[in-house]
Chain A
């Protein structure tokens, strides 16, 4: 299986347009992060991708082919909320996977159960949210899938198990699996993802390779002696995409010539100036919430 392509996908519930003309290309073997605020349409996109919800329009292809039931032999999905059977225990869920998927690897399942310290005899109804998430992760990875779709895969997990899930994703991707994940933990996505798309109000507002998105922009940060900073000239500068002031600190998101703008800030009286790479959180916030940072003054360039 190779590229997953989503072309002009739309999904509406009544008058509500949950996903609006989304086009995404997910390369084979990549870790693809789908980011967006709550209600952006991430889960709906996943459901349409896997045929769990009917798209209103658009085409989804796996390596150029439409999704068929047989393809699920090599696709795993971990939904955002637990879909496990409350009355079954861990061992029974794994047995269900074993009987359903030819690729199920019982040794790997055992290793993963041990990794997450899960008791196979424990019924799901007696499990915490984190344990349920961990069991779903075990079930997903135990079939050695070629494609993993993970919707908030670390939800409810403690930091140790969150790290374990990240490692599993990276390990699987290294072995050629394609991983599509959404997470509110941007730091985790940053560690694992090499491609991403940002959804807002059902639309893709940013997409691409993480490295490209980062290299396109820089942060120029200056610390001034007082909060009274003359911003007039900067507001008109076309190289500045976004301008945030938080007290004496001025942060400029720039699309070109970071060095020149650093000199400008020095000329304006900045006590110290530095140029830093954008992190994923910056990219995400720049995309979805231009005014939501802790800045006292935020102005888009």
Chain B
């Protein structure tokens, strides 16, 4: 395995990713503990129903909802709890010594509204586990981590140029094969970072609610975009630095700036009425076409803020996914072509 150094470099990048994901997970755990410790719907309902002084009645409504009424005159607790499938709704009042306040908290399709007044607390809690979200959104979140990993690993050939060529090029393997194996290792690392993120998002989901994931016609191209985007960005950084011996940091820094600014300028001047604006557009628009970030610019539309994922500016998702694939192949090829001509 003549690309062992790159494997180690990838593992170092994955350690950084693990730290980032670990921090997210820790925050999620703390949030879960804080948000639901005193408002865990199942625990609250069970506590009220199991009181020896409580009078509990249940009936099934026409729509299948099981409505449970709890009256506890001794504790002055009154509650109506509705359960239907994965939907939980509770309207309860109980004594409270806390001062008057009004708290509202919502997360996704769950919400808690608590009003404290005149020694009583009134809680309306809705826990809708019937939420459904597009499966592609998991990968969209992973795409962010993928871009971070791609940025860490991008410009790998320039890293070799910066003082290691004598080591790299005296291996019993051709430069082309070495370059492809090295970049292939990085691509695999980027994908691992993305799938690790998907796994983390699933774990976090399970900590709160387990949503129903759905897919539609946009799912496959959307996932393709989210997976290919970071790889295309990595390829772009590598291609633009493959012949450099120094200055990789500048390429990466300016690369991000340019990748965001160029499409914005092209878009901003698209409908310009002035000659200058049109000239700017004509210069920047072609550059925007070869900018991978242009194709990974994602936005979410639909009810609840999360539904179908749509690719923003350049047409259908499939075209964008195809463009990312083409850019990846072109940039990786350019990287190899440049690198084989570099001298130690």
Contacts and interface: CB of A to CB of B under 8 A. Distances in A.
Contacts of B304: none
Interface string A42-80: 000001001111100000000000000111110111010
Contact of A83 (B8, B166, B174): B166
B29 interface: no
Contacts of A83: 163-167
A95 interface: yes
Contacts of A82: 163
A85 B164 contact: yes
B343 A54 contact: yes
B177 to A, nearest CB: 8
A50 to B, nearest CB: 6
Given A47-B343, A83-B166, A95 B4 contact: yes
A116 interface: no
Contact of A100 (B8, B171, B174, B343): B171
A95 B4 CA distance: 8
Contacts of A99: 1-2, 4
Contact of B12 (A75, A84, A87, A100): A87
B249 to A, nearest CB: 15
B165 A96 contact: no
B344 to A, nearest CB: 4
Given A82-B163, A99-B1, 15 more contacts: A50-B169, A52-B169, A52-B343, A52-B344, A69-B172, A69-B173, A70-B172, A72-B173, A76-B170, A79-B166, A83-B164, A99-B2, A100-B1, A101-B171, A101-B172
A92 interface: yes
A94 B53 CA distance: 75
Interface string B174-194: 110000000000000000000
Nearest to B164: A83
B5 interface: yes
A88 interface: yes
A47 B344 contact: yes
Contacts of A53: 343-344
Nearest to A140: B170
Size category, B interface: 20 to 34
- Interface bracket on A: 20 to 34
Interface string B148-173: 00000000000000011111011111
A69 B174 contact: yes
A85 B162 CA distance: 10
Interface string B1-41: 11011001100100000000000000000000000000000
A19 to B, nearest CB: 13
A276 to B, nearest CB: 40
A263 to B, nearest CB: 54
Contact of B4 (A52, A72, A81, A96): A96
B186 to A, nearest CB: 15
B253 to A, nearest CB: 21
B166 to A, nearest CB: 4
11 contacts: A50-B169, A51-B169, A52-B166, A53-B344, A70-B172, A72-B173, A83-B165, A85-B5, A85-B164, A87-B12, A99-B2
Q: Which of B2, B8, B165, B344 is packed against the most chain A CB atoms within 10 Å?
A: B344
Interface in B258-317: none
B170 A50 contact: yes
Nearest to A46: B166
B172 A73 contact: yes
Contacts of B12: 87
Contacts of B4: 95-96, 99-100
B322 to A, nearest CB: 35
A261 B265 CA distance: 86
Contacts of B172: 69-73, 100-101
Nearest to A75: B170
A168 to B, nearest CB: 18
A88 B171 contact: no
